Amino acid sequence: MTLPVFDTAAIKKAATLQLVLDTVRDALVAHVEGRTSVPPPLHMDFPETDGDCHVKAGWITGATDFTVKIATGFYRNPALGLPTNHGLVCVVSARTGQVRALLDDRGLLTAWRTAAAGALITHAMARPGAVILAVFGTGEQARLQATWLAKLRPVSTELVHGRNPHKAAALCNDLKARGLSARPASAQQAVTADMVITTTPATVPVLDAAQVREGAHVTGIGTDMPHKNELPPALFHRAELIATDDHAQCLDHGDFGHAVRAGATTPDGDIAAGLLLKAPVDRPDTAITVADLTGVGALDAALASAVLDQLLL
C-alpha cells in the first residue's frame, strides 16, 4: 500500500480555524491533567546559516495516533526567496506502530498549533477589558497571532513592531485588509499595550520589562531553543502570575528558565497554562501576567491526527 502524503493545499482545505482552536485547547487541558506522553525535544543549531531544527514527538493517552515532527527555521531564507519555516509531520498508529500518513505541511501545522496556543492563553490571561494588542515580529506567526486573537476577543488596535520598518508596514497593511486596525510602532510604544505577544527568533530580550504597564499580559512564543530569549528575566520578577505550557521544557530552554537561572523567579513559580483554559483567571486589574510557550509535542499529535481524520473522510 502506498503511504498517503498530504501537502499544504490539502491540509488547508481539510482544516478549519475552529477545529484548530478546539483541538489545541483540548490538548493543553489533557497535558495539564497528565494524559499525555511527551519526550524531551531534540534540538539542532546551525549558526553558520542562522538556522535551527527541532524534533518533537507526542501522544495523548487513548488516542489512536502519535506523531513525530520535524520543524526547521532558517532565518536567512527570505533573502533567498524561500520561506523561513519548513518541516513535516509523521502520523503513526499507536495500536500497530504502522505509519498512517506523512503530512508534508512545510511547517504549517506547527504555525497553527503555535498561533492557537498563543491566542488561547493570551485571551485567558489578559484582563477582560484589554483591547490593545502589540506584536513583536513581522512574519507569519505575528500575522496569525494578531488575527486569531481578534477572533476570540474584541481588539481595538494592533501595534506591530519589527526591526524592518518595511515589513512592519506590510504586515499592518495585511491586517487592515482583514478588517483590523493596525499601525507600526516602536518597541517603546508597543510594550505599553494591554496585551503583548512576541513572535521572534531573538537571542536577547526584545522588550524592556520596566516599560510594561500595570495590568498588562505578555505571551512569548519564540523561545523554543536553548539559545533563544525574547522576554527579560525582570519581567518575570514583576509578574504576579506566570504560566508555562510545559514546566520541564520551559525550565530547560524557555524564557521562564532564563528567568529562574537569573534569580528573577523560583523554579516552582509557574502554573500550567492548561489550567487557565479550565477556569477563569483570578487576577487583580493591576497585575502583570506572563505566559512562556515553548511548544508541546502532544499538541502537534492531536492537531495532526484531527487534520488527518478530516483528510481521510
pLDDT (0 to 100) of residue 1: 65
Structure confidence at residue 2 as a pLDDT band (50, 70, 90) = confident
pLDDT (0 to 100) of residue 281: 81
CATH number for 5-110+298-311 (one of 3.20.20.70, 3.40.50.10470, 3.30.1780.10, 3.40.920.10): it is 3.30.1780.10
pLDDT (0 to 100) of residue 225: 85
How does the average pLDDT of the chain come out, rounded?
A: 96
- Superfamily of domain covering 115-295: NAD(P)-binding Rossmann-like Domain (3.40.50.720)
pLDDT (0 to 100) of residue 141: 96
> What mean pLDDT comes out for the span 40-53?
93
Is there a shared CATH topology between the 5-110+298-311 domain and the 115-295 domain? no
Question: What is the residue extent of each domain of the chain?
Answer: 5-110+298-311, 115-295
> What mean pLDDT comes out for the span 217-242?
95
The grid coordinates of residue 18 equal 475552529
pLDDT (0 to 100) of residue 198: 98
pLDDT in tens, 4-25: 999 999 999 999 999 999 999 9
